[in-house]
Structure 1
Amino acid sequence: MAAAMEGGNSWQPGANFVANLWREFSPALVETGRHISWWLAFGLILAFLPYFPYSKHIHLLMGPFNFITRPTRKRWGLLAPLNFDDESIEQFGAARLTDLDQTHLVDAFACIMCNRCQDVCPAYLTGKELSPSALEINKRYYILENMGELATDGADALPLFEYAISQSAVWACTTCGACVEVCPVGNQPMVDILAMRRNQVLMESAFPYQLKGAFTGLERNNNPWQMSDHRLTWAGSLDFSVPTVEENPAFEVLFWVGCAGAFDPDAQKISRAIATALNAAGVNFAVLGQKEACTGDMARRAGNEYLFAQMAQKNIEILNEIGADKKRIVTGCPHCLHTLGQEYADFGGKYTVCHHTQFIAELVREGKLKLKHNISEKITFHDPCYLGRYSREYNPPREILAKTGAIVVEMGRAKNNSFCCGGGGAQMWKEEEKGAQAVNVNRYLEAAAAGAETLAVGCPFCGRMLKDAHTTEGIPPLKIQDVAEIVVTAIEQKG
C-alpha cells in the first residue's frame, strides 16, 4: 500500500507487483488500508508474545544465553568430578530434573528441534531407544507443565526415567560426543546421560549386570579384563628388551601401555608395534610394568565416579613419584590419552600426553624414524571418537599412512563427523542394547564400502569392535590393523 501511494521501489519487486492491486483505489482508502494493516500486524505480534515462551521459537533468546552461561570446560568432553568428602551432599548424579546442572535446564529451551543430534547418534541410527533431541524436548515439556511447582518450592517428585528417557536409552549411549559436536546451540545431552548413569550406579546400584565384572576387575586386579597375568607378558616375544622405570630411571618417554595393550591378544600386537617403532627411532623410553593400572575411564563413563577417583589418585601418585609430570607420556589408547592428559588434571595430575600416531608422525618428520614407501594398497582410517572429537587429532594417522606409500581413502563419515565403533561409554564391557543393527556392523559396512583393502585403526577398542563385526556372517572381509602395525612393516632398517 505504501508503494501504491509513494511510488515503486526497485529493491522491492514483490511489493511493487502487489501494489498494482491498489493503484485504482482513492488515496484516502489506501491510507486507511495501510493503517489497518499496520495495526493488524502489530496485534498479531502482541497476540503471539504469550505463546512465544512455550514454543520452540524461544531458542532465539535461549540459544545465545545458553552459550554465555554454559560451564567453561578446560577441554572438550571433560566431566566435572564429584566431591565424596563433603558429607552434606546427599545426591550424586541426576535422578530428577532438579539434580541436573542449571545450564542443562537451559539446554531444553535452547534446543531448536533440528534433530541434528539424533541424526548422528550411533544408538539412534542403529535402532536403539536413545534420541538426544527427544531427551531435551521431554525436559522442556516437563518444565512447562510443572513450572509453577518448580518455581515456588522446587518440588520435583517425578524421576527423569518417568518422562524424559528410558533406562535402555541411558545405557545405549557410547559417549562418542557426536551430539555435542553437531549441536548449533551448544547443548550437551551426553552429559545429562552420564549424570543419570552416576545416579544409577552410586545411588541406586542399578546398572547392567555385565559391568559388575569390569568394576570388580578394577578393584581387585587394576584392570577391567579381570586378568592377573603380568602386564609385560606382551613384550616377551620382542628381540629387544622393554625396560621398566626401575630399570631405566633416566627415561625421557613413558610408554603407557594400557589394559587392552597389556592383556588383549590383538592389542598386544599394537603394543609390540609401538615399542618396535620407539626402539627403531632410538627413543629413550620405559614402561611402568606391574605398577601400571587402568586409568579408570570405563568406570567414569559407566557412572562409577567413586571407583574412577580411586584409580586416578592411585595412578597420579605413582606417576608423580617417577617424575612423569616432567616427561612425555605416549599411549596407544585414545581413552588413556584423554583421561591422563585431561581428566587427571582435576585430581592434581598434570601430564604431557600424546597418542602413538602423533609421536610416530613427529619421529618421521624429524628423520628419527625412516619409512619405506613400500605399501601400495588402499587404506581407510577410522577416527576413534576419543582421538578425534575428544582430542582434536585427525591428521597424524593419515600423515603416517601416506608416508608408507599407502593410498588413503576416506569413508563418508570421517574426522569430526566420524561414526563410533560402538565400544565407548563402557559398551565394551556390556551387552549392546536392543536395536535393529549393531553399531560396529554399521561402521564396518561403511568401511567396506569405501573400497579399501585395509581398515586402519588407532584405538585397541575400535580394533576389537570392528574385528568382531568382521566375523558377522555375510559381511565382506577387510584386513584390520592399527596404524602402528602398518608402520612397522614399512620401517627402514638402519644399515
Structure 2
Amino acid sequence: AADIAAGTAMDPGWKPISSALVGISVVRSNPAFWWHAFWWTHVVLLFTFLAYVPHSKHMHIIFAIINTFFMDLTPKGALKKVDLENAQTFGVNRVEQLSWRQLLDGYACTECGRCTAACPANATGKPLDPMRIITNMRDTLDEQGPAIVAGKTEGLPDMFATVHPEDGIWACTTCYACVYECPVMNEHVPKIIEMRRHMVLTQGKMPPEAMETMRKIEQNYNPWGIGWDRRGDWAEGMWIPKLSEGGRYLYLFWVGCAGSFDDRNRKVTLAFARILQRAHVPFAILGPEEKCTGDPARRIGNEYLFQAMAAANVETLNRYEVKKIVTACPHCFNTLKNEYPQFGGKYEVIHHTQLLKELLEDGRITPTKEVAELVTHHDSCYLGRYNGIFDEPRDVLKVLPGVKTVEMSRCRDRGFCCGAGGARMWMEETIGEKVNHRRLSHVEETGASVVATACPYCLIMFDDAAKTKDREDIRRFDIAELVERSL
C-alpha cells in the first residue's frame, strides 16, 4: 500500500487489497513512514512465529519435513530384528530406550487424529488411541528430559503409566491403518510391538490364552497344539509329493498352520492343491518338516520364539534349495517374504491369488461353470496395506462366470481389519464390540450373499461372527474355493 501511494509499486492493478488501503489518509499522507512500519511489523511477526513454533503444536511444520526425509524404507511388514545375545534390554518401557527416529515422530505429529479415526480397536471401544501413543511419548520426553540427561531416572514412571496403558497395547491388531493414514510418516505399530516385547521378554507378562498359544508353538510348532507329525495329514490320498522324497519342483506350497490344522481352512488348502494339479503346476510340500513361521510369536512380542522358528525354517528351506514359495496365508506370505531375509532366507514368495490370476490369464485353468453370487471381497491387512496386493483377488473374481462384485464402504487401502492380526487371533476380546462383528456389519450393508477372503485368519473370524450374529445366510469362502467351483 505504501509503495502504491509513493508511486513505486509494480503492477498495482494486480494488488486490489493494497490498492484499497491506499485510500486510508494516513498511508497516503506519509507513504515512506508506513512502508518502514509495515516492513518492520512483518519482520517482527515472522521472527516471533519462528521462535514460537518449536514450543507449540505447530512444530510439526519443521519436524514433519525431517521425519519424512528419514522415513523407514525397509518393507512395511518387516519388524526390526532384535540382537538377543547382546541386547541390554528387551523392548522398551522408557522413552530414552527409543531411537532418535522413533522419538522424532512425536514432534512431527500434527495431532490430526486420522490414525485414531482409522483404528479398528478404537472404533470398537478398546482403550487404544494411536495418536496418544505418539503425543504422550513426546510429552513424556519433554517432562523427563532433564532427568534423563542428568541420569536421574530412578523412580520416574514408565511408558505404561505415561504413554499408554497395557490394555490398549494388547488391543492392537497391527492392521497398519494408523501408519497408513499418517500424513507425516509416523510409525505407531513398531512402538506397540516394542512395548509388547518388554512385557513378554522382560516382565514375562501376557494374556493367559496368549501364553498357552506360545506353549503350543514351542511344543508342536503350531498355535493349535496338534501334533507336529500330523501337519501333512490333509494331503492323504492327494498324491502330493514332499520335498524330502526328492525331485525338482517349481513351487513349494507353504500350507501354514491354519491350512494344515484348522478344519475349515483345510478345505481351502485342498481346493487350491486340486487347482494346481489341474493346471499341471509342479509343486511339493514340506509336510511335517514345515513349522509355524513365527508370525504370532513376533507380533505378540515373543521375539525369542519367533527367531527360533525362523532359524529352523530357513535352515530347512535352504537345505532343499527352495527358490519359489506360494502360500494362501498373508501372514506366512509377509513373514517369508519380508522378515526371513533377516535370517538368510531369500525366496520369491507369491500369494495364492497372484498365482491363480496368472493361471487364469495363461489359460491353464478355464472357469466354465456359473457361480451366481453377489460377492464382496474383504482385504486382508497383511496382504493389502502391508504388501500392496489389492487388485489380484478382485481380478480373479471378475473372470468367474456369474459372479457380481460389490465393495464395502471400507475397502482396499482403507479396509477394516477382521480382528485377528497382531496375534489377536489367539487372545480373548472382552472389551467393547468385537472387531469381526463390526466387519461383518460392513458386509451386511452391501447386501452381498458371499464374502470372499484371501486369508485363513479372516475366514475364521467371519465364520465366528456369522455364527454368533446368526447370519450364516452370508456365506464365507476363500477365493480359491470360488475358483474351484467355477471349473
Report the TM range for the smaller structure's normalisation. Answer: over 0.9
Aligned with 2:92 (options 81, 94, 98): 94
Q: Deviations over 1:248-296 (max 9, x none)?
A: 5322211111000011111111101110110110111111111111000
Is the counterpart of residue 358 in structure 1 residue 372 in structure 2? Answer: no
Alignment check: 8 A CA contact 1:213 1:226 kept: no
CA distance in 2, matches of 1:145, 1:165: 16
Q: Counterpart of 2:166?
A: 167
Q: Counterpart of 1:471?
A: 467
CA distance in 1, matches of 2:85, 2:166: 29
Q: Note the C-alpha offset of 1:118.
A: 0.9
Alignment check: 8 A CA contact 2:77 2:338 kept: no
Label 1:161 to 1:16 Cα distance change in 2 as closer, same or farther (>3 A). Answer: same
Alignment check: 8 A CA contact 1:445 1:475 kept: no
Q: Deviations over 1:369-424 (max 9, x none)?
A: 11126123211110101111111111111111111121121111111111110000
Aligned with 2:309 (options 304, 308, 311): 311
Is the counterpart of residue 382 in structure 1 residue 378 in structure 2? Answer: yes
State the TM-score, normalized to the length of structure 1.
Answer: 0.93
CA distance in 2, matches of 1:262, 1:100: 39
Alignment check: 8 A CA contact 1:470 1:478 kept: yes
Aligned-residue RMSD, C-alpha? 1.9
Q: Counterpart of 2:342?
A: 346
CA distance in 2, matches of 1:152, 1:177: 36
CA distance in 2, matches of 1:373, 1:28: 89
Alignment check: 8 A CA contact 1:100 1:195 kept: no
5+ residue gaps in structure 1?
Answer: none
Q: Counterpart of 2:231?
A: 231
Q: Counterpart of 1:272?
A: 270
User: Comparing both structures, which one devotes a greater share of its residues to helix?
Assistant: 2
Instruction: Give percent identity, aligned residues only.
Output: 38
CA distance in 1, matches of 2:99, 2:72: 9
Label 1:455 to 1:153 Cα distance change in 2 as closer, same or farther (>3 A). Answer: same
CA distance in 2, matches of 1:9, 1:150: 57
Q: Note the C-alpha offset of 1:432.
A: 1.9
Is the counterpart of residue 451 in structure 1 residue 447 in structure 2? Answer: yes
CA distance in 1, matches of 2:85, 2:206: 24
Label 1:443 to 1:17 Cα distance change in 2 as closer, same or farther (>3 A). Answer: farther
Label 1:252 to 1:49 Cα distance change in 2 as closer, same or farther (>3 A). Answer: closer
CA distance in 1, matches of 2:169, 2:93: 12
Matches within 5 A, 1:166-205: 166-205=165-204
Alignment check: 8 A CA contact 1:168 1:433 kept: no
CA distance in 2, matches of 1:51, 1:148: 21
Matches within 5 A, 1:55-204: 55-73=56-74, 75-86=75-86, 89-153=87-151, 155=153, 157-204=156-203
Label 1:121 to 1:470 Cα distance change in 2 as closer, same or farther (>3 A). Answer: same
Aligned with 2:406 (options 406, 409, 425): 409
Label 1:490 to 1:248 Cα distance change in 2 as closer, same or farther (>3 A). Answer: farther
Q: Secondary structure at the match of 2:379?
A: coil
Q: Secondary structure at the match of 2:244?
A: coil
Aligned pairs, number: 481
CA distance in 2, matches of 1:12, 1:26: 16
CA distance in 1, matches of 2:326, 2:313: 15
Q: Secondary structure at the match of 1:175?
A: coil
CA distance in 2, matches of 1:203, 1:246: 39
Alignment check: 8 A CA contact 2:5 2:27 kept: no
